[in-house]
């Protein structure tokens, strides 16, 4: 087992917090547990030599490998389902019947391996029904990890991962690939646009979103980082648009202009 010195721990956790928002200042054991074997397997005698190598990689590929190892990508279809009920019953009718526009733009920020954006897509397509073809609906799905984005784009899931979905969704939106594996249909694939994006970067999006889901992502961030991101979400939403955070998360301690709708759901009001 390779142990982190206090100096290495301080340097590495500060660098990762400043550049990727992940607050690992109390996670020394986590870093050792997730990186130890990998770092020594590469032949390094200490973490700092490995970290210098990761920082010197101009393409930042090694830094992405490192971030992938330190973040938790756990997700599943229909996770925190009350959000999807609210999306179906409030957000979609607001866009459809109140705004009377036909271009829906929703962002799954921190999408992991795709279950969240594909769930949004299935609910949207079910809601639009036969009118879907006359809508220009896009679910933007972003994550900092190339590994999960590759899995999301591939869209191949086991029967067990899909077990919570209604049978008619399975028939409509998935294609059996044998060995209890299913891949997403082209309809779903064409509705979701994937992109690697670090939430700490300036937001480049020109078109405002009707809804943003950033669930179970900001648990890694401390209050100043969270505050900055929440305010960027506010600016990126259309007035009346909604922000969803994880059910176990809150915006307490953050200074923002969102209206509180109910725990974990907020609305931009001006």
Ligand X SMILES: C[S@@+](CC[C@H](N)C(=O)[O-])C[C@H]1O[C@@H](n2cnc3c(N)ncnc32)[C@H](O)[C@@H]1O
Question: Could you list the residues that contact ligand X (CB under 6 A)?
Answer: 20-21, 71-75, 79, 110, 112, 116, 143-145, 148, 198-200, 215-217, 220, 246
Q: How far apart are CB 266 and ligand X at their closest, in Å?
A: 16
Q: How far apart are CB 251 and ligand X at their closest, in Å?
A: 16
Hey, how many other C-beta atoms are within 10 angstroms of the C-beta on 89? 11
- Closest to ligand X by CB, 21 or 155: 21
- Closest to ligand X by CB, 22 or 125: 22
- Closest to ligand X by CB, 20 or 105: 20
Q: Rounded to whole angstroms, how far apart are CA atoms 8 and 43?
A: 17
CA 219, 225, 226: angle at the middle one, nearest 5?
Answer: 50
Q: How far apart are CB 191 and ligand X at their closest, in Å?
A: 17
Q: 185, 79 in Cβ contact below 8 A?
A: no
- Closest to ligand X by CB, 229 or 237: 229
> CA distances (Å), 226 to each of 69, 142, 146, in order?
21, 17, 22
Q: How far apart are CB 171 and ligand X at their closest, in Å?
A: 24
- Closest to ligand X by CB, 67 or 237: 67
- Closest to ligand X by CB, 178 or 204: 204
Q: How far apart are CB 67 and ligand X at their closest, in Å?
A: 7
Q: Rounded to whole angstroms, how far apart are CA atoms 222 and 31?
A: 18
Q: How far apart are CB 198 and ligand X at their closest, in Å?
A: 5
Q: How far apart are CB 138 and ligand X at their closest, in Å?
A: 18
Handedness of CA 210, 128, 122, 261 (dihedral sign): positive
Q: How far apart are CB 177 and ligand X at their closest, in Å?
A: 23
Residues in Cβ contact with 137 at an 8 Å cutoff, skipping those fewer than 6 apart: 103, 104, 105, 106, 124, 125, 128, 191
Residues in Cβ contact with 10 at an 8 Å cutoff, skipping those fewer than 6 apart: none
Q: 163, 170 in Cβ contact below 8 A?
A: no
Hey, how many other C-beta atoms are within 10 angstroms of the C-beta on 23? 17
Q: 236, 203 in Cβ contact below 8 A?
A: yes
- Closest to ligand X by CB, 129 or 202: 202
- Closest to ligand X by CB, 46 or 231: 231
Residues in Cβ contact with 236 at an 8 Å cutoff, skipping those fewer than 6 apart: 107, 203, 205, 208, 209, 212
């Amino acid at each position: 087992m390779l142990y982190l010195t206090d100096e290495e721990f301080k340097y590495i956790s500060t660098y990762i917090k400043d550049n990727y928002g992940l607050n690992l200042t109390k996670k020394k054991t986590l870093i050792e547990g997730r990186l130890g074997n990998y770092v020594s397997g590469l032949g390094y005698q200490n973490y700092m030599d490995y970290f210098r190598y990761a920082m010197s990689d101009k393409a930042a590929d090694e830094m992405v490998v490192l971030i992938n190892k330190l973040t938790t990508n756990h997700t599943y279809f229909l996770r925190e389902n009350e959000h999807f009920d609210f999306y179906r019953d409030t957000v979609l009718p607001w866009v459809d019947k109140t705004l009377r526009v036909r271009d829906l733009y929703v962002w799954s920020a921190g999408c992991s391996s795709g279950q969240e954006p594909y769930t949004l897509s299935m609910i949207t397509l079910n809601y639009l029904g036969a009118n879907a073809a006359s809508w220009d609906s896009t679910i933007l799905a972003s994550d900092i990890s190339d590994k999960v984005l590759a899995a999301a784009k591939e869209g191949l899931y086991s029967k067990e991962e899909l077990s919570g979905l209604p049978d008619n969704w399975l028939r409509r939106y998935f294609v059996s690939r044998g060995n209890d594996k299913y891949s997403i249909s082209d309809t779903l694939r064409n509705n979701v646009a994937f992109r690697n994006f670090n939430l700490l970067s300036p937001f480049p999006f020109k078109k405002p979103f009707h809804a943003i889901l950033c669930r179970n992502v900001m648990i890694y961030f401390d209050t100043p980082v969270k505050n900055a991101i929440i305010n960027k979400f506010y600016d990126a939403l259309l007035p009346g648009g909604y922000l969803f955070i994880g059910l176990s998360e809150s915006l307490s301690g953050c200074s923002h202009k969102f209206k509180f709708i109910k725990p974990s759901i907020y609305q931009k009001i001006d």
